[in-house]
Amino acid sequence: MNTLCRSCAFIKKNTVMFVAFLAAVITSLIVPPDSAYIEYFDFKTLTCLFCVLAVVCALKNIRFFYTLAKKVVRLFKNARMSVLALVYITFIGSMLIANDMALLTFLPLGYFVLTTTGKEKYMAFTFIMQNIAANLGGMLTPFGNPQNLYLYSKFEIPNLEFMGIMAPPFIVSVALITVCCIIFVKPEPLFVEDEEKKLPKGRTAIYLLLFALSIAIVFRGIPYWIGLIIIPIALLLLDRRALLKVDYPLLLTFVFFFIFSGNMARIDVVREFFSMLLEKSTLLFSVASCQVISNVPSAILLSQFTENYQDLLVGVNIGGCGTLISSLASLITFREYTKHNPGKTGKYIRDFSLFNFGFLILLTAFMLLLKFI
């Protein structure tokens, strides 16, 4: 019975991975495994994602991001500026450590700040804004969102072109998030406990060097296999827990969706149908797809049927706003909020939907208007 309960809990916690597994199995019955399967996998993307996640876990274990964030929050003396700081930290963090890791790192900080200062009334709003900030902040860099890393690698998009594509929706996102925080949070006095904990200088320096190595691999400055050797060895010596805490279900989700999308691309009827839809509007169809199957699988699947990576890249990023399942990051935020506020799920979903669909509609309209200018 305990084993069954643990299995159910694991599946519930990793729903996206389980769905990806089922999709891979079902399509494998239609397209039986053969030698072409090996071509489905983007090993560089998997390696880059593993390296970044592992180093981030090591930095998180020494409370690097927590300590850094607290120093920033202490600079501000009222609720509005502190919520803005929390949201901006998440926004910037998503560019550097990926959106899901930014949320796992900074949502607890938001909870700590608001509960210790008696401002729990802003909890749902802060979590929702942090979630939107994580999804939209990560779109500017190739490693900010998992789907970015995949598309960046698959289409070999030049660095400056990548940032040029994502700069317009990124700038609009910053403006919208700032306006929302100013409107919905009052400048009430806020005091944060002054708790100082020093970082271990040696480990911090080494982990930052490993993080720099991970980023260099993402930007194609260093062959990916070097990181796959150096980073695991270094962490085995310094922090084995970091390797155990890597989000392996996320990596497996990629593996399963590589199989699923590769098989789908070999089914003639499916290939013709998706190609037809994407020809009509890659942007709109990719945004809509995210609402149903999430942004990472949408990026992997749709990339098999179009060369218009510009619109696909924008679509699967702004498509992370919307439904609870449009992004893995949104599910993480929902899980964290309900853990601390079990009786307020309905209100949270209502507010989450209003803000997320508002952002989605405005950003989609802006990008469509930009195409016609």
From 168-177, 244-253, 351-360, the region with the lowest mean pLDDT: 244-253
- Report the SS3 class of residue 78: strand
pLDDT of residue 194: 61
Residue 145 CA to residue 173 CA, distance in Å, equals: 15
Residue 202 CA to residue 208 CA, distance in Å, equals: 10
Where does the pLDDT of residue 192 fall: very low under 50, low under 70, confident under 90, or very high at 90 and above? low
Domain membership flag for residue 139: yes
Q: Over pLDDT 70: what percentage of the chain?
A: 96
pLDDT of residue 310: 95
Q: Taking a C-beta distance cutoff of 8 angstroms, is the pair 352, 334 a contact?
A: yes
More confident call, 290 vs 3: 290
Residue 339 CA to residue 134 CA, distance in Å, equals: 19
Reported for 84-90, long-range contacts at CB under 8 A and 24+ positions apart, including other chains, are 84/178, 84/181, 84/182, 84/185, 86/110, 86/113, 86/126, 86/130, 87/126, 87/129, 87/130, 87/133, 87/177, 87/181, 88/133, 90/130, 90/133, 90/134, 90/137
Domain membership flag for residue 228: no
Residue with tokens 């062959």: 223
Domain membership flag for residue 210: no
More confident call, 3 vs 322: 322
Q: Taking a C-beta distance cutoff of 8 angstroms, is the pair 138, 148 a contact?
A: yes
Is the predicted pLDDT of residue 1 greater than 70, yes or no? no
Q: Taking a C-beta distance cutoff of 8 angstroms, is the pair 326, 291 a contact?
A: yes
Domain residue limits at 102: 63-198+247-372
pLDDT of residue 26: 92
Is the predicted pLDDT of residue 29 greater than 90, yes or no? yes
Reported for 193-202, long-range contacts at CB under 8 A and 24+ positions apart, including other chains, are 193/116, 194/74, 195/70, 197/63, 197/67, 199/62, 199/63, 199/64, 199/67, 200/62
Helical packing angle, 15-30 and 2-13, nearest 10°: 90
pLDDT of residue 252: 86
Domain membership flag for residue 368: yes
Per residue in 144-158, pLDDT tens? Answer: 788 898 899 889 999
pLDDT of residue 125: 96
Domain membership flag for residue 184: yes
Q: Taking a C-beta distance cutoff of 8 angstroms, is the pair 52, 93 a contact?
A: no
Domain membership flag for residue 216: no
Q: What is the mean pLDDT of residues 12-16?
A: 72
Residue with tokens 């592992």: 54
Name the pTM for this structure.
0.78
Q: Over pLDDT 90: what percentage of the chain?
A: 34
More confident call, 73 vs 310: 310
Where does the pLDDT of residue 52 fall: very low under 50, low under 70, confident under 90, or very high at 90 and above? confident
Return the percent helix, strand and coil in the chain, to nearest 5.
80, 0, 20
Residue 14 CA to residue 5 CA, distance in Å, equals: 14
> What is the average pLDDT score of the chain?
86
pLDDT of residue 315: 95
Domain count, the chain: 1
Beta bridge partners of 78: 189
pLDDT of residue 196: 62
Residue 116 CA to residue 137 CA, distance in Å, equals: 27
Domain membership flag for residue 102: yes
Where does the pLDDT of residue 195 fall: very low under 50, low under 70, confident under 90, or very high at 90 and above? low
Domain membership flag for residue 89: yes
